[in-house]
Structure 1
Amino acid sequence: MLVPRHIQDINSTTTVETHWGYADRAVPCTNDAGSCEYLDVVYHSHDIGIYYTGIIWATIGGILLLWAIGRHFVHSQPSGVQLPAEAGEGVKQRRGAFERFQRAAPSYARQYLLPDAARPIFGRVTRTQVLTLVVLTGYFAVFSFVGIIYKTWITPVKKMPGVYNTRTSLGPWSDRIGVFAYALTPLSIMLSSRESILSLVTGLPYQSFNFLHRWLGYLIFVQSALHTIAWCVVEIRLYQPQPSIGLEWIMQTYMIWGLVAMILLTLLLVLSTPWGIRLTGYEFFRKAHYVLAMVYIGACWGHWAQLKVFLLPGILVWFIDRGIRLARTALLHYNFLPSGHMGFRAAPANINFFKDETNGDVVRLDYDHPQDAWDVGQHFYLTFPDSSIWQSHPFTPLSHPVLGADTQRHSYIFRAKKGETRKITELSSKRIARMKDHEESHEGLMADARLSVLMTGPYGERTMRNLASDSNILCVAGGTGITYVLPVLLDLASRPQTPDRHMSLVWVVRRRSDIDWVAPELAILKRKCRNLRAGIHIYVTRAAEEIDVAPPTVSEKAAVNDCTKEIDPASTSDSSSASVSSALSVHGVSKAELGLNHYQARPGLNEIVNEFVAGTVRGGTDVFASGPGEMISDLRRIIASTNKGGEVWKGENRWDVRLTCDDRLEW
């Protein structure tokens, strides 16, 4: 089948050359001089292209290796360690310069690479991500063209006098980019894996690779489309006679599989666009993406089995990823059953339901589960068998993990949007209504219902492991994003602290009653931070829309930076105090116990960040943030402008400001 395409007759030659990843070649060439020269270019360009794929993968492997070594070296050289008295002055100077470089270099990088880049094109991603994509794309663009002899050959068609073929370097170039599309397939799958090898090496959470996975898919599509278009031009236009040559070519089995692969890749592209996901729904996109991707790899195998060495690793990575997920879920839920035997058991979660017809109802889940503690900042994928076993969603635990405990407390908060969360909210509402109909409950106390939960995880970044001992902490959250930042403060408040460390929480909610979601945790935080320089500031953006809440008084607007200072309930209006107390009484926590600051406007993030940094005594600042995309984009821009690498090099570490986001847009 390949002989007519490559104008060779292997049976008429004495020697066959094997070319890795390509068809065998008959030597010596028995065709006309132009055709033989063309074949020389075809095979030479392919062989060089294979070498280039090796160079590309060696480069990727080398970068990952250096990254892993660098991480180990940095972690083994902690900053702030007191040198022995007998250490020489030169040693101290070198150590001081190295520590300053460790802080100044990342500060310079954040200053220029942290803000969003070309949002209309790339979405809410940092310049670092886009720069990585540009470098990768430029790398492949260069290797797509070098090493090819560009020339045109006019060759006669056998047994057809006066008819000529036009042979150009378009064919070798098309083969080159086709090989690169195959070579990128395993990398694309690695970038999409939840059980990510890349995360183990780099320390970056798997969701940080989603942007590169998506755009690498676009790059593979462009390469495949150009490969298809180029060979269509060659076979349907440049080779003669037509249309017989074109029809004979398109009827070959390898070409049929190639067209199938291109159609599947086009469907993958269309369904992965933002409007495609909105049109079909995220769950349909996710399931269809899995199926289409595997069938696409099979079609690529049928199109050109000689390059299966790039396809097989991708398939193995995908199945290993799914296998580890199932194993982790099974091990996490393999516990003692009520009968005393060991077996698989879902976690029964208590449901608290918060009605909000305007913005979407909110559900809180609480349950205890026997397991080891996870790291603060990590999240779990939750499946609700009462609704569907085919869907799972990432949620960050609001609760603080306790090292050494036999069981861990899990608390989650989510707002009903569409799909599964809407189903869970409706199910929770119905179960609570049924319980109220059959059981008597105390006035003002929300009845609890049960919901089965299956977990997979934990996943994500271990935010506290790389936290410097002198770092100041600013947490910014919007709505249910409080679940990501509050455990950070709870963890720090439970440790011995340096007296100069500053901590602050800025939480933006729509209504005052939203405080009820996390009232117990806020009370615990306030109680534990009495000896810390910390502040809890809650901004209510739509307080005026609440009918039962009077306009705020002057004392209610006042800023109090120390959470040990109590707000006198008498200083607020009666209706305001009654509304908040009623909302917080669901968990048995009153407003007086919390002593929180309430502001009746949206926060000015620029002023908040700059005032916090300027008010620190020593050390840099770590900002933890979770919330709407606009908030995250603003924080990236603000923190980038706050970083001053030159000042950090001089020893002014307060201008070393880092941002850690729970970027749910990437999920």
Structure 2
Amino acid sequence: MADIAAPLSGRHIQNLSEATAFEKHWGYPDRALPCTNDAGSCAYLDLVYHSHDVSMLYAGILWAVVSGILLVWAFGRKLWPSRRADEVLVLDSERFVATTVSRGSRVKRTAAALVRSYLLPDSVRAVFGRTTRLQVLILAVCAGYLLIFSLVGLVYETWVTPVKKMPGVYNTRTSLGPWSDRIGILAYALTPFSIMLSSRESILSLLTGVPYQSFNFLHRWLGYIICIQGLLHTISWTVIEAYLYQPQPSVAAEWIAQTYMIWGCVAIILLLLIFVLSLPPVIRLTGYEFFRKAHYVLAMIYIGACYAHWDKLSCFMIPALVLWFLDRAVRLVRTGLAHYQILPDGKTGFKTAQATLTHFPDAEHGDILRLDFAHSQEAWQIGQHFYLCFPECSIWQSHPFTPLNLPELRDGVVEHSYIVRAKKGETKKLADRAAAKLAENAKATTPVVISGSYGESITDHLTPDVNVLCVAGGTGITYVLPVLLSLIAQPGSKNRKIELIWAIRKKPDMQWVQKELDAIHRASRTHGVVVHIFVTRESSSPAPSLRDEKKTGNEDPAVKEVGASSSKSSTASSASVKSMEVRKLGGSENFDTHPDLEKIVGAFVENTICGPTTVFASGPGGMVSDLRSIVAACNSGAQVWKGNERYDVGLTCDDRLEW
């Protein structure tokens, strides 16, 4: 028992040899009873052990609250699904008429519109980046909760106690020690939750239906909170041991030489290193792949150092390690099962998918590759993405990409199509290989290892009365194309508005997805799909006549090209064209002009016939941030409550910035 209390014996001055009993305390050394020290030391020990017990209780309450929220959320998804099944919509010759709309459904829609109008835009971008107010609010609630529980339940007093066998020398004992232990316990308790927030095979996603990447913001900022807690814990005990306890410097020297303190120093150094390497400027400097791998290694060593520093709180560290290894194990198993195929010799084993590469050179912004391959697997859900690994380049890297095609299972095989911008790294190597093969008039192919699918369906809520506006920038088209392709595969609905806004740098960029654009254009007559393509880095030109287009022989007569002057007209007026329009916005004075999204979205919402609207968006971060503010302004809870569903405007965006 003396060995158990050894790290604290000097600090607490417990008379272990005179103890007649030892009192158990979870997560702390046993307390020797009765206390035979001076009155001040005994009172201080009373506070230390009582505060520790309260701290463990608070850690338990923290996990009980988190677990309770997750369970309520999971049951709520089953009891009140996102689909509005309590509505029966009848289509007449003019409009949709809601024959039954429950009060509960109206309350739900009104609340959703109110939340979007206030909490959808970005918040304090200079600090939090491109993050919605809702996420920042959740972070503020969590931080406030932790701040309150870090301070309550403590007795703030000071005791001046004599040092044995050293007359005239005194220790100053304060509530700083118990408070430091409190935040240390909370930092340990938060570690498993931080691991859960970072997991790709996310338990949180299974319970809540929220894609794993949506938890990255909380994971990052929870890590910052843990770092602050670790620093405060370290600084506080350094002040206590190197200043308040006497005599110095012998007490400090003896304290820092203990094994548990050495591991504590290792843990805080690792935590600070993790913090520095996770800063956006450092990630840009060192590269994302270095950050990711260094983050994995340092995090695991940090957890091990925390265990060595205070193994009595292994109830938090061991689950954190288990969650981390479980996430990696499930990834490997899923990848192995996805590629467990019949080999050419008839046997079964690991077989990569063979992708055909189409190369689109772009020396200025990075070449574009289109990958097409078929793979034997189950169909994924629209909006989900895969991690692709290219073994010819490296087996140690994989990147997330969203399939641009519909997930259709045919004879046990699903087609995959991806657009990859090759700027540097492994994708650049892949583009160079493809260019070299094509230069030799050889077919460009490459083996691909897929992992996934990840994420959640983004089209489950699209009942026939929901209008759809898709906005994409560059290779972000891959996120919205499956939505449009799924809509045109369904029976047409003349009162539903469907529109695509795609901003590209140059007109030849349309060739990336020409086949899909042709399919969408052919459905314009039956489904009313309107496509507007904005070319932002080519000089505007007068609109060619249909006769001129026919003479060229390489333009679709139904595809109209209009100059920058035409872009000033109302977007709503183009709805009657029922065709695909290409608008060149660039000019000699304003070479890189982007479409006016505020005007486009506002006109789309105002000119809907009936029903709510969902905006699907993918593209550069600035575009997504602008759309959040624009969509928020289109929402009105008061109007939705009155039955005007036009002002119920949702936003579904892919902000992983894979392009």
Normalization by structure 1: what TM-score? 0.90
Give the superposition deviation at 1:280.
1.3
What per-residue deviation string (whole Å, max 9, x for no partner) do you get for residues 225-279 of structure 1?
0000000000000000000000000000000000000000011001010111112
Q: Look up the equivalent residue of 1:497 and give its one-letter code.
A: G
- Partner of residue 141, structure 2: 135
Given candidates 649, 659, 662, the residue that maps to 2:654 is 662
Q: CA separation in 2, counterparts of 1:380 and 1:233? A: 50
Given candidates 643, 647, 655, the residue that maps to 2:635 is 643
What per-residue deviation string (whole Å, max 9, x for no partner) do you get for residues 129-154 of structure 1?
10000000000000000000000000
Aligned pairs for 1:137-152 within 5 A: 137-152=143-158
Give the superposition deviation at 1:475.
0.3
Given candidates 290, 294, 305, the residue that maps to 1:299 is 305
Q: CA separation in 2, counterparts of 1:665 and 1:27? A: 60
Aligned pairs for 1:93-108 within 5 A: 96-108=102-114
Is contact 2:86-2:102 (8 Å) kept? no
- Partner of residue 652, structure 1: 644
CA gap of 1:665–1:577, structure 2 versus 1, over 3 A, is closer
Q: CA separation in 1, counterparts of 2:168 and 2:133? A: 58
Given candidates 89, 101, 115, the residue that maps to 2:121 is 115
Is 1:496 the counterpart of 2:491 in the alignment?
yes
What per-residue deviation string (whole Å, max 9, x for no partner) do you get for residues 523-581 of structure 1?
1122234311210110001112xxxxxx521457xxxxxxxxxxx36259969959x99
- Partner of residue 266, structure 1: 272
- Partner of residue 444, structure 1: none
Is contact 1:211-1:666 (8 Å) kept? no
Q: CA separation in 1, counterparts of 2:362 and 2:615? A: 30
Give the superposition deviation at 1:70.
1.7
- Partner of residue 17, structure 1: 23
Aligned pairs for 1:277-288 within 5 A: 277-288=283-294
Q: CA separation in 2, counterparts of 1:666 and 1:417? A: 11
Give the superposition deviation at 1:95.
5.7
- Partner of residue 631, structure 1: 623
- Partner of residue 590, structure 2: none
SS, match of residue 65 in structure 2: helix
- Partner of residue 582, structure 2: 598
Given candidates 431, 444, 452, the residue that maps to 1:449 is 444
Is 1:552 the counterpart of 2:541 in the alignment?
yes
Q: CA separation in 2, counterparts of 1:370 and 1:170? A: 61
- Partner of residue 610, structure 2: 618
CA gap of 1:77–1:474, structure 2 versus 1, over 3 A, is closer
Which ranges in structure 2 are unaligned for 5 or more consecutive residues?
1-5, 91-97, 560-577, 586-593
What per-residue deviation string (whole Å, max 9, x for no partner) do you get for residues 572-627 of structure 1?
9969959x99xxxxxxxxxxxx9631111221101111111111112100110000
- Partner of residue 589, structure 1: none
Given candidates 2, 6, 10, the residue that maps to 1:4 is 10
Is 1:313 the counterpart of 2:356 in the alignment?
no
SS, match of residue 388 in structure 1: coil
Given candidates 66, 76, 87, the residue that maps to 1:81 is 87
Is contact 1:382-1:394 (8 Å) kept? yes
Q: CA separation in 1, counterparts of 2:626 and 2:470? A: 14
Q: Look up the equivalent residue of 2:234 and give its one-letter code.
A: T
Is contact 1:539-1:603 (8 Å) kept? yes
Q: CA separation in 2, counterparts of 1:348 and 1:94? A: 51
CA gap of 1:287–1:383, structure 2 versus 1, over 3 A, is same
Is 1:351 the counterpart of 2:354 in the alignment?
no
- Partner of residue 528, structure 2: 533
Q: CA separation in 2, counterparts of 1:281 and 1:77? A: 41
Is contact 2:84-2:461 (8 Å) kept? no
- Partner of residue 588, structure 1: none
Give the superposition deviation at 1:500.
1.1
Q: CA separation in 2, counterparts of 1:575 and 1:42? A: 86
Is 1:223 the counterpart of 2:229 in the alignment?
yes
CA gap of 1:665–1:68, structure 2 versus 1, over 3 A, is same
What per-residue deviation string (whole Å, max 9, x for no partner) do you get for residues 334-379 of structure 1?
1111112211100110011111111211111111111111111100
SS, match of residue 379 in structure 2: coil
Q: CA separation in 2, counterparts of 1:95 and 1:523? A: 38
CA gap of 1:462–1:77, structure 2 versus 1, over 3 A, is closer
SS, match of residue 531 in structure 1: helix
Aligned pairs for 1:363-512 within 5 A: 363-403=369-409, 405-433=411-439, 435-436=440-441, 448-512=443-507
Is contact 1:8-1:26 (8 Å) kept? yes
Aligned pairs for 1:184-223 within 5 A: 184-223=190-229
Is contact 1:373-1:404 (8 Å) kept? no
Q: CA separation in 2, counterparts of 1:298 and 1:605? A: 50
SS, match of residue 500 in structure 2: strand
CA gap of 1:77–1:193, structure 2 versus 1, over 3 A, is closer
Is contact 1:261-1:299 (8 Å) kept? yes
CA gap of 1:108–1:538, structure 2 versus 1, over 3 A, is same
Give the superposition deviation at 1:405.
4.5
SS, match of residue 415 in structure 1: strand
Q: Look up the equivalent residue of 1:19 and give its one-letter code.
A: H
Is contact 1:165-1:240 (8 Å) kept? yes
- Count matched residues: 619
Q: CA separation in 2, counterparts of 1:24 and 1:116? A: 50
SS, match of residue 389 in structure 1: coil
- Partner of residue 547, structure 1: none
Give the superposition deviation at 1:79.
3.9
Is contact 1:210-1:666 (8 Å) kept? no
Given candidates 512, 515, 539, the residue that maps to 1:520 is 515
Q: CA separation in 1, counterparts of 2:658 and 2:249? A: 48
Which ranges in structure 1 are unaligned for 5 or more consecutive residues?
85-91, 440-447, 545-550, 557-567, 582-593
Q: CA separation in 2, counterparts of 1:94 and 1:349? A: 50
What per-residue deviation string (whole Å, max 9, x for no partner) do you get for residues 61-86 of structure 1?
111111112211221873453499xx
SS, match of residue 488 in structure 1: helix
- Partner of residue 333, structure 2: 327
- Partner of residue 588, structure 2: none
Normalization by structure 2: what TM-score? 0.91
Q: Look up the equivalent residue of 1:606 and give its one-letter code.
A: E
CA gap of 1:375–1:405, structure 2 versus 1, over 3 A, is farther
Q: Look up the equivalent residue of 2:627 and give its one-letter code.
A: L
Q: CA separation in 2, counterparts of 1:665 and 1:257? A: 38
Q: CA separation in 2, counterparts of 1:554 and 1:83? A: 42
| Root-mean-square deviation over aligned CA pairs | 2.2
Is 1:35 the counterpart of 2:41 in the alignment?
yes
Q: Look up the equivalent residue of 1:183 and give its one-letter code.
A: A
Is contact 1:383-1:391 (8 Å) kept? yes
CA gap of 1:502–1:641, structure 2 versus 1, over 3 A, is same
Range moving further from structure 2, 518-527 or 211-220: 518-527
CA gap of 1:573–1:128, structure 2 versus 1, over 3 A, is farther
Is contact 2:387-2:401 (8 Å) kept? yes
CA gap of 1:491–1:111, structure 2 versus 1, over 3 A, is same
Give the superposition deviation at 1:418.
2.5
Q: CA separation in 2, counterparts of 1:410 and 1:114? A: 33
